[in-house]
Amino acid sequence: MPTVVQAENLRKEFGNVRALDGVSFRVDGGEWIAIMGPSGSGKTTLINILGGLDTPTAGQAIVDGTDVARLDEAGLTRFRAVKIGFIFQQFHLVPYLTAVENVMLAQYFHSTTDEKEAQQALERVGLGDRIEHLPTQLSGGEQQRVAVARALINHPKLILADEPTGNLDEANEEIVLGLLRELHSEGHTILMVTHAATIGRLADRRIEFAHGHLVQAAATSLKPELA
């Protein structure tokens, strides 16, 4: 499988704080990677840089052939719309819009909207009967499933999930993880930040961070290139 993510000596500084310090690794297409580590270790910073939400202080972050570090504001905006599907711990749905409209919003910023396709995406995550519900009318698990449908709707090259089950109870956690497993089996490339070792073990590989460094890689296929 071709390489989808290639990080080369990535560094990110916030003032005097070095959130990422020389991080290098590679992810092939179709892999499910768990990024683990304690709070403040740089996991979310890495996800933000790979997703084009932030830019590195130094180094390269190449996603599907695009060096995110070299993109301007407009380029980053387009990059996010076309290549990335985000799943956030806090769901981050637009409270004014219904479930289907939240999914269509991603379509709108990508290209054109297709309500039928958005409905099918919701049916796929088991929310066919919640299409016209507002986020406030949905449970946490249902909201996260809407976020999953939204992340998938534009067929992104990379799904970035930041603690996708962090706000869910056990039952809903299982549903969302089931969806991620399904996406993985369909060949999607997933980078998932998690604290939970049990969830991390579901991934093909685990990358562990501490103080902005990549400290450990687990699973046989992992080929970390420590700086």
Partner 1 sequence: MFWRLVFQLLRRSRGRFAVAIFAIVSGATVISALLNLDLGVQNKLTQEFRTLGANIVISPPDVQQSVDGGSAAPVLFNEDVLQIGIESVPEANVVASAPYLYIVAKAAQKPVVMVGTLMGELRKFEPTWQLDGRWISSSDDMAGCLVGRNVARQFHLKPDSSLRLTYADRTAELTVSGVVSAGGPDDNQIFVNLPVAQRLAAIDGISVWQISAGGSSKVVAGYLARLTVALPQYQVRPIRQVAEAEGALLGRIRLLIVSMVLLILVLTALCVLGTMAALAMERRKLVGLMKSLGGSISRIVGIFLAEVGVLGAAGGLVGAILGSALSYWMGLRVFGTAIAPRWEVFPVTIVLMVLVTLTGAIPLRLLGNVKPADILRGE
Q: According to CB under 8 A, which residues from 197 to 226 bind partner 1? A: none
Identify which of residues 51 and 141 has a Cβ nearer to partner 1 in the complex. Answer: 51
Residue 113 CB, nearest distance to partner 1 (Å)?
4
Question: DSSP 3-state assignment of 109?
Answer: helix
Q: How far is CA 102 from CA 11, 80, 132, 137, 145, in A?
A: 34, 16, 10, 14, 11
Using rule CB under 8 A, residue 108 touches partner 1:
yes
Using rule CB under 8 A, residue 97 touches partner 1:
yes
Helix (H) or strand (E) holding 66: strand 66-67
Of these, 11, 110, 181, 211, which contacts partner 1 (CB under 8 A)?
Answer: 110
Of these, 58, 69, 71, 105, which contacts partner 1 (CB under 8 A)?
Answer: 105
Using rule CB under 8 A, residue 66 touches partner 1:
no
Using rule CB under 8 A, residue 15 touches partner 1:
no
Phi, psi of 191 (to 5 degrees): -115, 120
Give Cβ neighbours of residue 40 (< 8 Å, ≥ 6 apart): none
Residue 22 CB, nearest distance to partner 1 (Å)?
21
Handedness of CA 134, 150, 202, 162 (dihedral sign): negative
Terminal CA-CA length for the chain: 24
- What residues line the site for partner 1 (CB under 8 A)? 44, 48, 51, 53-54, 74, 77-82, 84, 86, 88, 90, 92, 94-97, 101, 104-110, 113, 150
